[in-house]
A = this chain, B = another copy of it.
C-alpha cells in the first residue's frame, strides 16, 4: 500500500486525540471536555492544537461563544466516531474472547474417545454458539504425533504421554470389556474365564491403538497367549464383526453401551480392565480462553451427566494448574 504523507500526518494520529476531539465537538467547550475527561482546560486546548497540526487544517472555530467544527472538522468528527466505534467493537470482541464465549480451540481425540466426547462437546456447543471447536480424531499413535507437534490445544488419551510438560486430568472411566455375539454359546455360563477363551479368535485394533495395547499388556501379565487374532482398524467395524460371529473382542464399554447392537458383554474375572480417559494439555501452552471455558464446563457437568465426582476433581485441579500461567 502506498502511503500519502501529504494531506494528513496519519502516523502521529492517536486514538486519544480523537477521543478528546470527539468530546469537544459534542460539548462545544474545552472546559466542559476538560472536566468530563478529568483534564485541565489547557491540556485539552493543546490536544486540539496538535490535532489541528496533524490534520493541517483548522478544525474548529468560535461561533457565538461555542466551539463549532469547521467543514473539515465535521468530516474529522465523523471519522473519529467511526474509528472509535470500530475500535470499541474490537475491544468488545476481545472481552468476549477472553471470557471464552467466543473464539476457537482444537481438541485431539483418540478414536475410542469419540464415543463419549460428543456428550460434552454437544451441550457446550449449544451453550456457546460463538465458539468454534475443531475435533481431530486418530488412534493413539497419530494423536501422540500431533501432541508432539503441539498441533492441538487439548487432547484426550486413556494413557497420557509421559512428559514433564504434561498436565493430565483423568475425568472419566473407560472400562474395557470382552464382547461376543448376542447369542454366544458361553452366555450365562458361570465361572467363565479368559483362559477358557484363548482358543477363540479375537478381533484386535491396529498396533497403535491404546485399547489393543492395554489388552495385550493384561494378557502378558496374565500369561495368556491368544491362538487366533485378526486386525480390524475401527471400533465400529469390530463391533459389527463380532455381531456377525467373526470372533470376540475387547472394547470400551462406551462403544457397546448404547442401543441393541448385536453384541453382549461377557462377564469375565479381571474384567472390565480399568482405564480412564484423561484430558491432556501442555503445562506451558497458553490455552485459548474458549478451551478454558470448555474445561470449566466439563468440570461442572461431569458430576451430574456422568456421575464422576473424581473426574470433576481432577479437571478442577487441571484448571487450577493452568491459571497461574497468566
User: Could you tell me which A residues sit within 8 Å of B by CB distance?
Assistant: 1, 3-4, 6-8, 10-16, 19, 55-58, 71-72, 75-76, 79, 82-84, 86-88, 90-95, 97-99, 103-104, 286, 288
**Cβ–Cβ contact A87 & B83, under 8 A:** yes
Identify the 9 closest CB pairs spanning chains A and B, nearest first: A7-B94, A7-B95, A7-B91, A8-B91, A11-B16, A13-B15, A79-B90, A10-B15, A10-B87
Assembly of this chain: how many copies? 2
The one of B12, B86, B288 in contact with A83, judged by C-beta atoms closer than 8 angstroms, is: B86
CB nearest neighbor in B for A13 = B15
Q: A11-B19, A16-B11, A19-B11 are in contact. Are A6 and B75 (CB under 8 A)?
A: no
Closest approach, in angstroms, between the C-beta of A325 and any C-beta of chain B?
A: 12
A-B contact pairs, 23 of them (CB 8 A): A1-B84, A7-B91, A7-B92, A7-B94, A7-B95, A7-B98, A8-B87, A8-B90, A10-B91, A11-B19, A12-B14, A13-B87, A14-B15, A56-B94, A57-B97, A71-B103, A79-B86, A79-B87, A79-B90, A82-B86, A83-B83, A83-B86, A86-B86
> Using Cβ atoms and an 8 Å threshold, which residues of chain B touch A57?
94, 97-98
Closest Cβ–Cβ distance, residue A238 to chain B (whole Å): 38
Residue of B nearest to A100 (CB): B1
**Neighbouring B residues of A91 by C-beta, 8 Å:** 4, 6-8, 10
CA distance A55 to B95 in the complex (A): 11
Decide: A104 and B71 in contact? CB cutoff 8 A.
yes
Contact: A55 with B94, CB < 8 Å? yes
A15 and B84 CA atoms in complex are apart in Å by: 12
